Structure 1
Amino acid sequence: MSRNIIEVNDLTKKYDELVAVDSISFDVKEGEIFSLVGPNGAGKTTTVEILECLRKPTSGNARVLGHDVKNEDEKIKKKIGVMPQDFNTFERLTAEENIKLMGDLYGSDNVKEIMRKVGVDKFKNKKFDDLSGGMKTKVGIGMTLISNADLLFLDEPTTGLDPHARRETWNLIKDLKKMGKTVFLTTHYMEEVEYLSDRAGILINGKIEVIDSIENLIEEHGGGIKVKVLEDGEAVDIINDRADEVLRGEDTWTGIFDNKKEARQALIKLFQLDAKVEVEEAGMDEVFLRLTGGKIDEGGELV
């Protein structure tokens, strides 16, 4: 069994009367990709900054790589790699020069190897300011890897990226795990959580609602089958009558069925109507909806 590389117990952070992190407890296993997911203002960044020793907790405790965040912060900082959402670079330097500068700070001579691993070698001579969002993210991950840390914190690494760049970044994060790294990811994209994570914790208003493997979260909270129909009187009636939960889209209705037999019976009736139907397995979007009663929009807001 993998050892705990992070252990958090009753961790709380208050700012006067505002409780940003409210007595949370969880662990992160060595070698896994762990996602802390939630909307803007949920407490994700505050939690991560405590683990990175950038903030002190109000109460509770946490250990990172065996060290206490309260009084062994320098030991922790030397052993972790961090890519904040808005990471700092020299925009007039090239991609290679930015990574090399970070390498000089750590006394590292593996710049070329890191650039190859993250794909920066293909545009190494371009100035950072001229790079696309996806390219900038690759540079940021390269700068994070240069310290050769075994534990990496990636805070919202794909925010603002187009779908292609986001998918490329996901594949790169998967590669980090293959390198033997432990990745602590914060995100508000449910598809990202589902694609990347071994386990995830859902954080709402500073409290953790649930933590489990992605498979268990979907099985226990996601429902079984999603059936989507275009807005149409009889088809919508079938969805409303038979589904365990119904989601209203802009011009669609989606029924979530826990029971596959019930879903099949609904589909038979829909096909008899010659209705336009889409069917797919339920996922993390449905898990989040059922646990919180809402969903997160593209900007990270709870709606």
Structure 2
Amino acid sequence: MTQTTRTRDIVITDALTKRYGDRAAVDGVSLTVREGEVYGFLGPNGAGKTTTLRMLVGLVRPTAGSARVLGGNPGDPGVTARTGVLIEGPGFYPYLSGLDNLRVMSRYRGLPDTAARDALARVGLADRGGDHFRGYSLGMKQRLGVASALLGEPDLLILDEPTNGLDPAGMVEMRSLVRELAAEGHTVLLSSHQLTEVQDICDRVGVIVAGRLEAESTVAELRGGSSILVRATPPDRALSVAAAIAGAESVSRVDGGLRVDAGEEFAPRLIAALVAAGVEVFDVHSSERSLEDAFFEMTDQTMEVSR
């Protein structure tokens, strides 16, 4: 009999809440991050992403609800030792070199100096490790922050906007690094405004809006299925035919034509029905909704309801 291996839950929150006076910065968030995955935490500015991450590492005490990280409580020494963190801007001694800053952190954690050099090489800063931190660009500072999070080969990495300040080439390198880390068995929880980045590297995502978790699913599930885009005339007859065979709820007008929310295998049947009804078809092609489309659709609808 084949045995299935159950994936452990590395981060679990239950109705996690943080209030500042009457304002709920985080409102009843329940999410789960599984072992070995890259979990993307998405939301508009001010949605509560950073506050949630700060509660997960013990920097902020929840008002209500609970969180478990690596089987323990956020901020416990045993949990902290197994967690690498980059939240908001990285803070280092400006008069020390990048390498010396990492050496300070390595020694504080009881790690050898070689750990600092290894971490620098991992983020592409090996040849700039001797430069003073104050002379680093924003992107270099961000790389050094990620290097500090990698010290000690943590089981869990919590990264707040890890590609902030990086040029396009640096973003590609950082994405590759995150995927490599997951392949090696690390679990990565990252927040990002770069939706293309999240679509490319994340296994599952959570979307937080106005402090509430609005969705949690795989990237594929959040994007939904593909659609068929049709340009045909007369447009009203084309709309009527498409609605009759695909369902009115699956058909909508878009610039220059119609969108039919159905798989591309539905296209031959749709074309045949349109031609039989005397509709002239100029163009038919499939289109997959991007994570960006899904995100803006979700946040716009949610914010509209909240207003």
Task: Report if TM-score (shorter chain) is over 0.5.
Answer: yes
Quote the offset at 1:108 in angstroms: 1.2
Task: Give 2:152's match in structure 1, choosing from 147, 156, 168.
Answer: 147
Query: For residues 165 and 226 of structure 1, what CA distance do their matches in structure 2 show?
Result: 35
Count of residue correspondences: 279
Query: For residues 18 and 216 of structure 2, what CA distance do their matches in structure 1 show?
Result: 20
Deviations 1:107-137 (A, max 9, x none): 2112222222222213222333333433322
What does 1:1-303 correspond to in 2, within 5 Å? 1-69=6-74, 73-109=76-112, 110-218=115-223, 222-225=224-227, 244=251, 257-260=261-264, 280-293=287-300
Deviations 1:54-74 (A, max 9, x none): 1111111111111123xx634
Query: For residues 167 and 259 of structure 2, what CA distance do their matches in structure 1 show?
Result: 29
SS at match of 2:66: strand
Deviations 1:183-239 (A, max 9, x none): 110112211211111111111111111111112222xxx34148699xxxx89x69x
SS at match of 2:101: helix
Quote the offset at 1:258 in angstroms: 3.6
Contact 1:114-1:146 within 8 A present in 2 as well: yes
Deviations 1:81-131 (A, max 9, x none): 111121101233222222222112112112222222222213222333333
Q: Identify unmatched segments of 5+ residues in structure 1.
A: 296-303
Quote the offset at 1:144 in angstroms: 1.0
AA aligned opposite 2:98: A
AA aligned opposite 2:23: L
Contact 2:90-2:142 within 8 A present in 1 as well: no
Rg larger in 1 or in 2?
2
The alpha-carbon distance between structure 1 residues 58 and 100, as it changes in their structure 2 partners (threshold 3 A), is same
User: Structure 1 length as normaliser, TM-score?
Assistant: 0.78
AA aligned opposite 2:97: T
Query: For residues 99 and 253 of structure 1, what CA distance do their matches in structure 2 show?
Result: 57
Identity %: 31
AA aligned opposite 1:43: G
Query: For residues 16 and 112 of structure 1, what CA distance do their matches in structure 2 show?
Result: 45
Query: For residues 226 and 87 of structure 1, what CA distance do their matches in structure 2 show?
Result: 45
Q: Identify unmatched segments of 5+ residues in structure 2.
A: 1-5, 243-249, 303-307
Q: Which moved more, 1:75-84 or 1:199-208?
A: 75-84
The alpha-carbon distance between structure 1 residues 120 and 17, as it changes in their structure 2 partners (threshold 3 A), is same
Alpha-carbon RMSD:
3.3
Q: Which residue of 2 aligns with 1:301?
A: none
Contact 2:230-2:281 within 8 A present in 1 as well: no
Deviations 1:20-70 (A, max 9, x none): 11111121111111111111111111111111101111111111111123x
Query: For residues 48 and 99 of structure 1, what CA distance do their matches in structure 2 show?
Result: 23
SS at match of 1:208: strand
Query: For residues 127 and 66 of structure 1, what CA distance do their matches in structure 2 show?
Result: 38
Contact 1:257-1:263 within 8 A present in 2 as well: no
Deviations 1:248-278 (A, max 9, x none): 7xxx999574443676768x99x976x8x99
Query: For residues 90 and 278 of structure 1, what CA distance do their matches in structure 2 show?
Result: 55
Q: Which moved more, 1:283-292 or 1:146-155?
A: 283-292
SS at match of 1:60: strand
Query: For residues 92 and 160 of structure 1, what CA distance do their matches in structure 2 show?
Result: 21
Quote the offset at 1:156 in angstroms: 1.2
Query: For residues 263 and 186 of structure 2, what CA distance do their matches in structure 1 show?
Result: 39
AA aligned opposite 2:153: N
